Amino acid sequence: MRVSSSRYLARYMRKNFSDEVLGPGSRCTPWVVGPSNTPAVTTASPTISEAALAWNATKETTNPAVLEAFVKHYGDSFFANLARARLDELKAAVVTSPQMASIPPPGQVATPTSPKMVGPSPTRQRAVLYEEDNTDPKGKQYVGSVIWRTEQIRASTGRADIAVRADIDIPDYKFRMTMSFRPNTDSSLPASHTAELTFILPPDFAGGRVDNVGLIVMKYNEQARGTPLAGLVVKVTDSFFLEGLSNIAAERTHNLQLLKERGWFDVALVYVNQRRVIIAIEKGAPGDRAFADAFAAWGQSPATTSAR
């Protein structure tokens, strides 16, 4: 663990955990936080239904606990009825198929594991977790790493596709997360792409769990002020959040430019104890290569004009 200077960390949090993350008109004071004065980090969008976006991420799951969490959170929506029907199918399949015996019982969520790497060790890029501390105005900084790669996935249409995946590890903070970008193939969902954020935290994690996540922000470098990807973030489960990127033509083009041209990502979090954190993630050459390969496979070529 490395504790940064007061001036650097305060400036970093003030620049990066503000309007671009919290939404237009929001204000926050670094290191001063409480249940009554902490704004939500998710910004709304009239073009994407939260329930529809969350259902898109969960409709093919074989984990009953995920579906039960969806029903609990979106119980009044049309998609909750679909989730209940899917849950009934899975429960019936457990009785009729021995292959379903490996599905975790309701209330027990399987913990995601990092994929096994084959061949030479992958190149690690820089990842930094910036945490505010109510007892220390200097705040704290924890340095870790990120591994970028593409992975084979199966789209909702059934055909094979690829996604861009980042595995982030902050060892001294006992914090791990994955971030995965893929094109949206569900015509019922008004999103061009989706970004899946999965948090792998120990049971005794100091923050409890992640309560809210801001829009993903793209930056030129670690200290620069960034620009958020246009879209909407929804909470699917306690450890899984999804951002649907806007499918409006101008915003879609701008999002792709940001993903291509900017070298750093920021992900702002709020824990259940209301403490705020920013994860800064370097793309580097491996990330650039992964996105280039993915854009080629997706048949998408971001415009060459610079994203502002």
More confident residue, 67 or 99: 67
- Indicate the SS3 state at residue 57: helix
Mean pLDDT of 237-259: 93
Residue 295, classified by CB atoms within 10 Å of its CB into exposed (0-12), middle (13-18) or buried (19+), is: middle
The chain-wide mean pLDDT, for the chain, equals 76
Residues 201-218: tens digit of each pLDDT? 999 998 899 999 999 999
Residue 26, classified by CB atoms within 10 Å of its CB into exposed (0-12), middle (13-18) or buried (19+), is: middle
As a 3-state breakdown, the chain gives helix, strand, coil percent values, each rounded to 5, of 30, 30, 40
Distance in angstroms (rounded) separating the CA atoms of residues 35 and 295: 41
More confident residue, 48 or 97: 48
Q: What is the pLDDT of residue 43?
A: 42
Q: Which of 56-65, 96-105, 176-185 has the lowest average pLDDT?
A: 96-105
Amino acid sitting at position 54: A
How many Cα atoms occupy the beta-carbon half-sphere of 130 within 13 Å?
Answer: 26
How many CB atoms neighbour CB 215 within 10 A?
26
pLDDT band at 266 (very low <50, low <70, confident <90, very high): very high
pLDDT band at 65 (very low <50, low <70, confident <90, very high): confident
Nearest alpha-carbon partner for 177 in 229, 138, 216: 216
pLDDT band at 5 (very low <50, low <70, confident <90, very high): very low
Mean pLDDT of 52-81: 75
Is this structure's pTM higher than 0.85?
no
Most confident of 6-15, 43-52, 62-71, 259-268: 259-268
Q: What is the pLDDT of residue 136?
A: 78
Question: Do 73 and 241 form a contact (C-beta atoms < 8 A)?
Answer: no
Q: What is the pLDDT of residue 175?
A: 96
Q: What is the pLDDT of residue 58?
A: 73
Residues 115-164: tens digit of each pLDDT? 454 456 789 999 999 998 878 777 899 999 999 999 988 766 667 789 99
Q: Which of 34-48, 117-131, 174-188, 290-304 has the lowest average pLDDT?
A: 34-48
Domain segments of the chain as ranges: 6-48+111-298, 64-102
Give yes or no for residue 200 having a pLDDT over 90: yes
More confident residue, 6 or 286: 286
Q: What is the pLDDT of residue 50?
A: 74
Distance in angstroms (rounded) separating the CA atoms of residues 302 and 260: 7
Nearest alpha-carbon partner for 54 in 73, 36, 37: 73
End-to-end CA distance of the chain: 34
Mean pLDDT of 177-190: 88
